Amino acid sequence: MEPKLILILILVISVSVTADYVRPKPRKALHFPWKPKAPSLPQQVHISLSSEKHMRITWITDDEYAPSIVQYGTSPGKYTSITLGGSTSYSYLFYSSGKIHHTVIGPLEHDTIYYYRCGGQGPEFQLKTPPAQFPITFAVAADLGQTGWTKSTLDHIDGCNYDVHLLPGDLSYADYLQRRWDTFGELVQPLASARPWMVTEGNHEQENIPFFKDGFESYNSRWTMPYQESGSPSNLYYSFEVAGVHVVMLGSYAAYDLNSNQYSWLKTDLSRVDRKRTPWLLVLLHVPWYNSNKAHQGEGDRMMETLEPLLYAANVDLVFAGHVHAYERSKRVYNGRSDPCGPIHITIGDGGNREGLATRYNDPQPEWSVFREASFGHGELKIVNLTHAFWSWHRNDDDEPVRSDEVWITSLVGSGCHAGKGHGQRKILMEP
């Protein structure tokens, strides 16, 4: 072969190799060295929405006598209000949790920075309440864990201007080791103490020991969500409203059959949605229903079979899921096919956990699947007004402003897909 030709061949090969995107490898678990702390010092501070004008502040102290009070106000160091809340604790084999404080503060003004202190001592934290109206921005990331990639995801989210964090399951990857719940609380405190974190459970929250421990005790004790406020009998599924958005958090690991509490609660909750007050309707759950990755293939089918007609009848705009460690966005879908009146499904289980990415996909790509990629990252949903929202997915390998996938989404409210019109399935909400 001519030397010139060989050189050209080498050049072509090297260009095509460097042009290929190289998927990142898993990163190591983070190391959390033990530091001495005063027993009454607040640790693992995080906040969540309790109602439209109230916020739940959660923190842990080693001191069981530390008071569950939160002092707060709109100027640094000047606390004009004080609220006394409650506390809980739990034991798990040889582990005893600290005192877990939950204090609901408010009424709070919208879109306002509050300065607050937990237990009457320790550092001052600050939070920003969500706006009363659009626009509102949600950061979305699931399957976080506590690795170098988790840190990278959190740093990226920290760089975006968001109001509420949505987390569809798999938080700490504690997996029975209770200390990992504590280190996860420490890891997320800088973000979770500043903006509400609204979470639902994944499989890694479930810590069963047959005949001894049942289910989600650690998760429920530490990450109490507004289930009572939304009429739900369980912390594993609930709903909340914020700035014109109704958000339903479903429980992939709570019973969902036709006779279950979750099914009847969901039916009631959806029937109460007033699209004039909340034009956008979002649903989050852990196990995806539309997934073309080989990982966890078909796992969400039974839940989808039972609950998808309810979501379709209610004109849900978007469904976010985790579990599969990759990113995938669908068209509007229903019953396994594209449907202009169904929700868009987004799998965003690429937060950074220690198990790594799910890189193998079904071929060919299903017609409903628009974009799929196995990379670590997070999503941002900016709901601009009652009809338009902008969704973007950001890879950790890129600078925060870079969007790897983006799409404008139109709400079903303005689309002619009104509940009760034209679709047989939509009558389901009218039935007793």
Q: Hey, what are 243's tokens? A: 């700035």
> What span, in angstroms and rounded, lies between the C-alpha atoms of 236 and 250?
7
Q: Hey, what are 227's tokens? A: 């289930």
> What span, in angstroms and rounded, lies between the C-alpha atoms of 131 and 395?
27
Closer CB to Fe ion, residue 244 or residue 377? 377
Minimum CB–partner distance for residue 169 and Fe ion (Å): 6
Q: Are 394 and 400 in contact (CB under 8 A)?
A: yes
Closer CB to Fe ion, residue 193 or residue 291? 291
Rounded to the nearest 5 degrees, what angle is found at the Cα of 153, between the Cα atoms of 24 and 251? Answer: 105
Closer CB to Fe ion, residue 202 or residue 342? 202
Minimum CB–partner distance for residue 203 and Fe ion (Å): 4
C-beta nearest to Fe ion: residue: 323
Closer CB to Fe ion, residue 236 or residue 273? 236
Q: Is 406 helix (H, G, I), strand (E, B) or coil?
A: strand
Q: Which listed residue (204, 296, 345, 394) is catalytic?
A: 296
Closer CB to Fe ion, residue 203 or residue 338? 203
Cα–Cα distance list, 210 to 109, 201, 224 (Å):
46, 20, 24
Whose tokens are 């109602």? That residue is 51
Cα–Cα distance list, 420 to 313, 317, 411, 416 (Å):
8, 16, 17, 11
Residues that bind Fe ion (CB under 5 A): 170, 202-203, 323
Minimum CB–partner distance for residue 405 and Fe ion (Å): 22
Minimum CB–partner distance for residue 206 and Fe ion (Å): 10
CA-wise closest residue to 349 among 392, 318, 391, 378: 378
Minimum CB–partner distance for residue 363 and Fe ion (Å): 24
CA-wise closest residue to 143 among 7, 327, 412: 327
> What span, in angstroms and rounded, lies between the C-alpha atoms of 54 and 36?
33
Q: Which long-range contacts (CB under 8 A, 24 or more apart) does 208-212 make?
A: 209/93
Residue count of the chain, please give it.
432
Amino acid at 133: Q
Report which secondary-structure segment, H or E, holds 199.
Answer: strand 197-200
Residue 204 is among the residues annotated as catalytic for this protein: no
Minimum CB–partner distance for residue 144 and Fe ion (Å): 11
Closer CB to Fe ion, residue 114 or residue 253? 253
Minimum CB–partner distance for residue 90 and Fe ion (Å): 22
Closer CB to Fe ion, residue 299 or residue 380? 299
> What span, in angstroms and rounded, lies between the C-alpha atoms of 52 and 245?
11
Known catalytic residues are 296
